[in-house]
Chain A
Amino acid sequence: MSWTWFHRLASPPHIYRLAQQLTPWFAWPAAALILTALYGGLVLAPPDYQQGDGFRIIYMHAPAAWMSLMVYTTMAVAAAVALIWRMKVAHAVAASCAPIGASFTFAALVTGSLWGEPMWGTWWEWDPRLTSELILLFLYLGYMGLRGAIDDPQRADRTSAVLAVVGIVNVPIIHYSVTWWNSLHQAPSVMRLGKPQLSMPMLWPLLVMLLGFTLFFVAVLLVRLRGEILVRERSASWLREVVGT
């Protein structure tokens, strides 16, 4: 079976054009879904029995946390593909993911803290989920730091790819160990970053928001990807065709 079709599909010029064309198809639905979910979550959904209107933070915190993990996974998968099949485009995908994931991890931490203060009475709790998010932020920063520290672009790509793959293996281990650690020291008043009881009117905006943010991620990724492809491209004729002059 010939793999040339696969490699042609994955060729930088092809992907560049594809990314350019596909971006609006992700961007506009993402915006629509997010706006719909905002209306559903802020206006339509009834207040929670225990947390009142405060539970609505979930419509921001959960998508941010979801993004932080999903983007890291995407980054690691792209890195693995890049290492195994030696595809430059896959390296470009991984590089594009990092800033997106890191920024949403930050948002997850801030919203987690803001949710915690009215619920727990403190701005920070070493809650397993928040602690894992913090460690995930460190993993992202390590990845970005490693990329920045290596001058040679090829070495930077491949070294950070190894780190991403090693990181993803660690994520479940870290999550397990942090949850285990936290369960040992459970506070008597169990104030976890608890999920409120979600009835359907409260649940559907959350699901729509998650979908919306996922599409948003793809849209932003496609934009970044184009830049990353350009940076890695050597062929003058194609570059001229794409960027003019």
Chain B
Amino acid sequence: MKEFLDMGGYAAFLWPSYAVTLGVAVLNVVWARRSLARAIAAARRRLAAGGAES
């Protein structure tokens, strides 16, 4: 296990790479879902205010 984490001495470069890329992936998921939620909320507000046409 320690050998695995050590990655032949490249651990300091390898694990941050994985963290950044997978982190960006997770961030995209969160960001996308949040922007959808915001759009839904905005649509509801528009409907309530009678701003949209039928």
- By a beta-carbon cutoff of 8 Å, the part of chain A in contact with chain B is 34, 42-43, 47, 52-54, 56-57, 60-61, 63-64, 99-100, 103-104, 106-107, 110-111, 114-115, 117-118, 213, 216, 220, 223-224, 226-228, 230-231, 233-237, 239-240, 242-245
Contacts and interface: CB of A to CB of B under 8 A. Distances in A.
Given A57-B14, A224-B32, A230-B40, A245 B20 contact: no
Nearest to B32: A223
Most buried by B among A43, A53, A61, A228: A53
A228 B17 CA distance: 31
A243 B10 contact: no
Secondary structure at chain A's binding surface: helix, strand, loop or mixed? helix
Secondary structure at chain B's binding surface: helix, strand, loop or mixed? helix
Contact of A245 (B36, B44, B53): B44
A231 B32 contact: no
A119 B17 CA distance: 14
A56 B7 contact: yes
Contact of A237 (B21, B32, B38, B54): B54
